[in-house]
Amino acid sequence: MFTSRDIPGTNQIGTVIHDEPLLAADAVHCVGQPVALVVADSPEAARAAAKAVTLDIEELPAVFDPREAFARGS
């Protein structure tokens, strides 16, 4: 399993501007954001490794207003 700490160089991707993390580092910003990559020799081993991934995430209130997001530094 690989996390953002295992990426050499910059953990940034994007089609035009590289402004999105490949893997979440300090915070998960949206549902479905990748947090780890699993590499295995078989599908069964990959599923077992993926099930072993655990996260301790504090849910924060959603921000839908762009001005409020900007004010918060988002």
pLDDT digits (tens, 9 = 90+) for 2-53: 999 999 988 999 888 888 899 999 889 888 899 999 999 999 999 999 999 9
What amino acid is encoded at 2 in this protein? Answer: F
pLDDT computed for residue 23 by the predictor: 95
List the domains of the chain with CATH numbers. 1-74 (3.90.1170)
Give a three-class secondary structure readout of the chain: CECHHHCCCCCEECCCCCCEECCCCCCCCCCCCCCCECCCCCHHHHHHHHHHCCCCCCCCCCCCCHHHHHHCCC
